[in-house]
Chains A and B, each alone.
Chain A
Amino acid sequence: MTKPNWAARAVKGTVDWIDYRLPVFTFVNHHLVEYPTPRNLNYWWNFGSLAGIVLVIMIATGIFLAMNYTPHVDFAFASVERIMRDVNYGWLMRYVHMNGGSMFFLLVYIHLFRGLYYGSYKAPREILWIIGVFLIFAMMGTAFVGYVLPWGQMSFWAATVITSMFSAIPLVGESIVNWLWGGFAVGNPTLNRFFSLHYLLPFVIFGLVFIHLWALHTHKSSNPLGVEVKDEQDTIPFHPYYTIKDTFGFGVMMVFYMAVVFFAPDMFGETINYVKANPMQTPPHIVPEWYFLPFYAILRAISFDVWFIPAKLIGVVLMGGAVGILIFMPWLDRSPVRSARFRPIYKQFFWIFLLDCLILGYVGAKPPEGALIAIGQAATFYYFFHFIVIVPLVSVLEKPRSLPASISAAVTKAPAKGAS
């Protein structure tokens, strides 16, 4: 010890005094230091914490942007440009925030597909998974209202198209849309409430993340083998092993994120959103941000009425259902084996499903013409077919490969203590 004894004792005394009254140090020790984590987590397990960090970045930059933003139809566009031009490092704040939205979705989508591949949704983690689906809904709402704030052409028309979807609801649809708008068209009241919601929803997300982590820390992380932790040999303390692994992953993510922010800040954006909103002029192609494209394709896929149900209503229901169906994943998948590593058939369908989502994204980006209409419809059909038919059927019919006895047995390639 280089520190004099009395100083060490003073520090320890203070820590103990606080911890006895408010056990923050015990809490940190329990959840971030000693926290037992499966020793075999691969890099796909980095994305949850990365998404959490981006959430913090979004809230931090957002607070500063809100200090300089004016939620009024006449001034919103100019106030954003004022941030870009006159506010000190305003351009940095805005580009970090704007691209942070894309980063957040990218990370969360990878996180979600990680869960689908490794069966992270299975017992006893169903509620953890469902909170995750709620998080995606909350993120989508936040991103949508946020995109409206700069009040460019695409902001305005995306707001018009998306809010108009609610008019598909029978009987009360029109009234609901007027209620959402606060008027008879997207206008100043709409912009004002969207700003308010855009400030509120991130804290809802924050709350959901807390519950997500609470559920996570109850049964701890799953792992690439999908075999539950059996004894101490299967786990390592979170610190230093995963603190350093997550920090390294954070560095890699930041390289990518900052490369976009500084060198291609408008890569994910629509050029036309640098034109101020004009309610009298509809842009030739209305496209949402890239992270909504697959859902946009599903919305547009239904171009025909079914019996007495109008096409628009079916499109809206399917679009919501495309995310909502994830909630049922723990029960659609009957397989006792978690990880796709040991599920040769499911593994292949997983990749086909991912491809299907990318096809939907591609179709969503293009104007609905020619073969793309049929492709969009087929891809939409397959999207739901995957969940409703393939997943349950494969889970029952497939013969999984044999599982290792334990995590440590598989990792150290030596017989585990209990297995000999």
Chain B
Amino acid sequence: MRKFILATFAISLLGAFSLLGMGSALASGDTPKPPSHKWSFSGPFGSFERPALKRGFQVYSEVCSSCHGLSLVAYRNLADIGFSKAEIAEISAEAEVEDGPDDEGEMYFRPARASDRFVSPFENDNAARSANGGSLPPDLSLIVKARNGGSDYIFALLTGYREEAPEGFEMNEDMYYNEYFPGHQIAMLPPLDDEAVEYEDGTKPTLTQHAEDVTVFLAWAASPELEARKRLGIKVLVFLLVLTGMLFALKRQIWAKLH
């Protein structure tokens, strides 16, 4: 048994090393690793801070949403972050969706309902590219899961703009220098600034605050199941640990007859 544990330990250590190797392989290049940030939703007991989520939604809708879609999230999902039915109806009604055909066979536009997904700012990718100098603003529904470094990366990117590229760095036209974007040249102009959004809850509107809030919101958009998952996970693990402990005792008892 002891030998087995030692061997398992040795193998998992080796495995962990090779996994680490993979991680650093993917973060290769001259882009620095985003600094790790303390998020309320990381760790086994983590959850999203409701006020930060609401502020983050405000930043998304007032700033990001002019270029970036959120097409996998439905307006009704906003109930999860503390919006009331009436508020959701009001938010969704600001967007228009194509529906139909009606009784005459015509397609028509109507205000979006709670059941609709967030309406993207552009009709399609081509329209988005043509309006953004050839660059495609990615949909943000999964952005936190779809980038190495996750929320740390998003936060670092939003706060990683520099006025000037370092000495000797060739910049292309209409590009902005960003510390954390792979290759450092990003087509998105610095989206956030101090006082970019006037918070409804009176929080001081700084660039860092905006970046942090919108990252929390996007982390929720990417993993809306996170809180339910972690809560259930704790229960499952406590159950399994107790069960496994009892099974171990039972195993010893049954095998004692043999030894």
Residue positions of A touching B, CB distance < 8 A: 39, 42-44, 78, 81, 84-85, 91-92, 95, 110, 236, 240-241, 244-245, 247-248, 251-252, 254-255, 258-259, 261-263, 265-266, 271-272, 274-275, 285, 287, 290, 293, 354-355, 358, 361-362, 365-367
Contact A241 B4 (CB under 8 A): no
> A285 with B26: in contact, given A241-B254, A251-B247 (CB under 8 Å)?
yes
Contact B147 A367 (CB under 8 A): no
Contact A248 B251 (CB under 8 A): yes
Provide a sorted-by-A list of 7 A–B residue pairs whose CB atoms are within 8 angstroms.
Answer: A91-B229, A92-B232, A262-B233, A263-B230, A271-B147, A293-B18, A362-B17
CA distance A285 to B29 in the complex (A): 12
Min CB–CB distance A329 → chain B (angstroms):
21
CA distance A361 to B11 in the complex (A): 13
Contact B255 A255 (CB under 8 A): no
What chain B residues lie within 8 Å of A274 (beta carbons)? 142, 145-146, 222
The 7 closest A-B CB pairs, nearest first, are: A262-B233, A251-B244, A274-B146, A365-B22, A366-B25, A91-B225, A248-B247
Q: B160 at the A/B interface (Cβ < 8 Å)?
A: no
> A236 with B244: in contact, given A91-B229, A258-B233, A262-B237 (CB under 8 Å)?
no
Contact B25 A365 (CB under 8 A): yes
Q: Which residue of chain A has its CB nearest to the CB of B26?
A: A285
What chain B residues lie within 8 Å of A365 (beta carbons)? 18, 21-22, 25
Min CB–CB distance A355 → chain B (angstroms):
8
Q: B135 at the A/B interface (Cβ < 8 Å)?
A: no
Contact B4 A275 (CB under 8 A): no
Min CB–CB distance A197 → chain B (angstroms):
27
**Chain B CB within 10 Å, residue with most, of A265, A271, A354, A367:** A271
Which one, A81, A247, A252, A361, contacts B142 given CB within 8 A? A81
Q: B240 at the A/B interface (Cβ < 8 Å)?
A: yes
CA distance A362 to B222 in the complex (A): 30
What chain B residues lie within 8 Å of A39 (beta carbons)? 258
Which one, B73, B141, B229, B237, contacts A259 given CB within 8 A? B237
Contact with A along B71-89 (1 / 0, CB 8 A): 0110001000000000000
- Given A244-B250, A290-B19, 20 additional A-B pairs, CB 8 A: A85-B77, A241-B258, A248-B248, A248-B250, A251-B243, A251-B248, A254-B240, A254-B244, A258-B240, A259-B237, A262-B236, A274-B142, A275-B138, A285-B25, A287-B22, A358-B15, A362-B17, A365-B25, A366-B22, A366-B25
Residue positions of B touching A, CB distance < 8 A: 1, 3-4, 11, 14-15, 17-19, 21-22, 25-26, 28, 44, 72-73, 77, 138, 141-142, 145-148, 150, 222, 224-225, 228-230, 232-234, 236-237, 240-241, 243-244, 247-248, 250-251, 254-255, 258
Q: Which residue of chain A has its CB nearest to the CB of B249?
A: A248
CA distance A374 to B127 in the complex (A): 47
Min CB–CB distance B110 → chain A (angstroms):
22
CA distance A110 to B8 in the complex (A): 10
What chain A residues lie within 8 Å of B14 (beta carbons)? 355, 358
CA distance A259 to B229 in the complex (A): 11
What chain B residues lie within 8 Å of A362 (beta carbons)? 17-18, 21-22
What chain B residues lie within 8 Å of A251 (beta carbons)? 240, 243-244, 247-248
What chain A residues lie within 8 Å of B222 (beta carbons)? 274
Which one, A78, A236, A244, A275, contacts B247 given CB within 8 A? A244
What chain A residues lie within 8 Å of B25 (beta carbons)? 285, 365-367
What chain B residues lie within 8 Å of A245 (beta carbons)? 251, 255
Min CB–CB distance A54 → chain B (angstroms):
15
Q: Which residue of chain A has its CB nearest to the CB of B42?
A: A263
Which one, A44, A85, A287, contacts B72 given CB within 8 A? A85
Min CB–CB distance B120 → chain A (angstroms):
13
Min CB–CB distance B148 → chain A (angstroms):
5
Q: Which residue of chain B has its CB nearest to the CB of A236?
A: B258
Which one, B4, B73, B77, contacts A42 given CB within 8 A? B4
What chain A residues lie within 8 Å of B21 (beta carbons)? 362, 365-366
What chain A residues lie within 8 Å of B225 (beta carbons)? 84-85, 91
Contact B237 A81 (CB under 8 A): no
CA distance A355 to B14 in the complex (A): 9
CA distance A43 to B11 in the complex (A): 15
CA distance A290 to B3 in the complex (A): 26
**Chain A CB within 10 Å, residue with most, of B22, B241, B250:** B22
Contact A85 B247 (CB under 8 A): no
> A266 with B142: in contact, given A43-B1, A248-B251, A251-B243 (CB under 8 Å)?
no
Contact A255 B244 (CB under 8 A): yes
What chain B residues lie within 8 Å of A81 (beta carbons)? 72, 141-142
> A358 with B18: in contact, given A39-B258, A248-B244, A271-B145 (CB under 8 Å)?
yes
Min CB–CB distance B251 → chain A (angstroms):
5
Contact A241 B255 (CB under 8 A): yes
Contact B240 A255 (CB under 8 A): yes
CA distance A354 to B18 in the complex (A): 13
What chain A residues lie within 8 Å of B73 (beta carbons)? 85
Min CB–CB distance B28 → chain A (angstroms):
7
CA distance A262 to B147 in the complex (A): 20
What chain A residues lie within 8 Å of B258 (beta carbons)? 39, 236, 241
Min CB–CB distance A304 → chain B (angstroms):
24
CA distance A68 to B247 in the complex (A): 36
Min CB–CB distance B86 → chain A (angstroms):
23
